[in-house]
Every structure is written in structure tokens, then in C-alpha cells.
Amino acid sequence: MASISLQGLTKRFPGVTAVDDLRLDIADGEFFVLLGPSGAGKTTTLRLIAGLETPDAGSVRMNGADLTSMAPALRDCAFVFQQYSLYPHLTVYDNMAFPLRAPMRRLHEAEVRRRVEKVAAMLHIEGKLQRKATALSGGEMQRVAIGRALVREPRVYLMDEPLSSLDAGLREELRVELKRLQRSSGATVVYVTHDQVEATTLADRIAILEHGRIRQVGTPLQIYDQPHSLDVAQRLGSPAVNVLPAEWFSGSATPAAAHVAIRPEDVVLLPDDGSQAYSVIECSLVKHLVVAERSGVEVRARTMLDQALTPGARVRLSFPPERCLYFDAAGQRIAA
């Protein structure tokens, strides 16, 4: 396994800087997630670590050694792509065995069989080993692609949205499986996703990327509770954080705040007393969620109601100051 250090990493393409002076340290054995929207530079960062792209500036280090000019084959990284990238004419067994038969890493066939069968059992595809890759479902093909990386037992696993093309049930099942496998093996994993659920359930730490730059690094709880900016606050949370006009908080909000944000679970729902009442738009007992409106601004509140509120009902909402997040006009966090 290996630690990874990215020092001032920059990559430009015509008309765009995909990665901009990126500095990041990933610990040995860490499950590290790069989270951000499309075009944030996540995949380019992964390809720079793998050596599939050459940086315009900066360096890539593993266990302290500079690998920036090293060929991809010599870096001992296994890459799982968003699409399965299997060899359609080969069986599942031969797809998984392929990296173990490569000239640089050729193993005895007995060891190849041991590793393939062990990983296939972990991924519950041991009964599919003699099938052609084209005879598998999408979920099974992705398991094979992940298994092909796992049999390598490399220093680092690089995963580029490997679950994004699967349906919700399979994504949930494979998320659990990936985390279990990583914990049992102690592997270093760098995982790219735009899905906040994947990020928060898998990651030891998350880096929020936007426009090729890191906005914040921390544990899922740190980023959720203590976002450095409004953009970061809006990146995590479902339902999303409420962003409310600062004038609603006169007397409690920081004077310089342009925006006040509060998580739905921190909003307190009270009976209507006729003062500044909100009109209910939606109420879901299944999600324990009330959506209400005041002056054209929607507010989402998590609540354990025992009966549904009908649309148009009047309620009162309270926003405890100690649970509010304050941001200036540029979207940067202001201490309460």
C-alpha cells in the first residue's frame, strides 16, 4: 500500500485549466473520495496519479518517491473505469486473470487461480467465471471490472465513478461491498464521484473540487457541520441546506452576513401563532419532511410528525442561531 502526495499539480488543456495548483496528501490505507460536479477536475486528477496524463506543473509522490515522470505500468496502480472496459471475447475468469498474466507481473497459474477464485467469491460471482463477459448483467460486469483490479493487489486503487451506470439497488449493494473489501485489505483507495451519498458512506475523508481547485478537505462530518463556503455547504446534504435571506435574522445574524444557511434537521417546527407564519407546500411522513414557503422562499424542515400537514396549512418555523451558518457576499464562512 502507499501514501500519495500531490504537490502543486496543474494540468491544462486547450482553453481550460482542468487541475489548478492542487495540493493534497492521502494517507496509506485511506479511502479518499474526490467529490464535485462534472468538469471539476476529478477524473483528470485520477489520471495524473495513474500517469495517464502528464502534469504541466507539480509532482506526484507515493511513499515519498517522485513518480511524476514514471510510466503508468511502473506505478503499481489499479484503475477501475466508469465503463466496464472488459474484453468481450474472454470469459470472466480470463478477464480477471488478465493483469496477472501480463509480462511484467506474470504469476504461476496456480497463484492466478487462487487469486481469481478468492476475489470472485468476495464479489459473489464465483458461479460466473466461465461465462463470456457479454453474457453478464451490468452489475455483474462492474463486479468483474472491480475484481480485475482487486486481484492485482496493487499499492493504490483508483476508481472513476465505477457505480454511476448501475441502478440504485446495485449501487447500494456494491458500496457496502467496496467499503468492506477496503477495510479488510487495508488498501489505499482514491475514489471519484459526483454522488454525495457515495462520498459520505465510503470516505474516510473527502476533498471537494470545483473548477480544478480544492475547496475543502475533511471527514464527511467535518464538511457537513463546518463548511468553509456556501458552495461546500450546498454540496452535502439531502434535503439540501436552506439558504435564507440575512434580513430574516436581524438581531441574531452576524451583521456582515449576506446569507444564512441552516440544515433541515436543525429547523424547529412550531404551531402557528399568527406571527410570520409559513404556508405548507409539501409534507412527507415517509421522509419526515415538511416544505414550507414564506415570501417566495422555500424552507425544508426535518420533523418527526405523527400526522401529515395538508398543503396550505400554516406553521411557524424557528431557526436556532447556534445551528445557523453565516456567509459573506462572496460565499465565505463567517464565524458566528
Q: Which domains, ranges and CATH numbers included, belong to the chain? A: 4-234 (3.40.50.300), 240-334 (2.40.50.140)
Mean per-residue pLDDT, 152-174: 84
**Confidence band for 111, pLDDT divided at 50, 70 and 90:** very high
Residue 254 — pLDDT band, cuts 50, 70, 90? low
Strand-pairing partners, residue 278, are: 315
Indicate the average pLDDT of the chain.
Answer: 90
Cα–Cα distance for residue pair 104/109, rounded to 1 Å: 15
Alpha-helical segments (H) within 124-272: 138-150, 168-185, 196-202, 220-225, 230-235
pLDDT over 80 at 307, yes or no: no
- Tell me which residue has cell 400554516: 314
pLDDT tens readout for residues 3-18: 999 999 999 999 999 9
Under the banding of pLDDT at 50, 70 and 90, the label for residue 308 is confident
Least confident among 30-39, 225-234, 262-271, 305-314: 305-314
Residue 335 banded pLDDT, cuts 50, 70, 90: confident
Residue 287 has pLDDT above 70, yes or no: yes
pLDDT tens digits for range 226-251: 999 999 999 999 899 999 988 888 76
The length of the chain is: 336
**CA pair distance 249, 190, nearest whole angstrom:** 41
If one compares 266 and 102, the residue with the highest pLDDT of the two is 266
Residue 309 DSSP symbol: P
Tell me if the pTM is above 0.95.
no
3-state secondary structure of 205: strand
Instruction: Band the pLDDT of 162: cuts 50, 70, 90.
Output: confident
pLDDT beyond 60 at 62: yes
- Between 98 and 168, the higher pLDDT residue: 98
Residue 311 carries which side chain, given as an amino acid letter?
P
Distance CA 61, CA 133 (A): 35
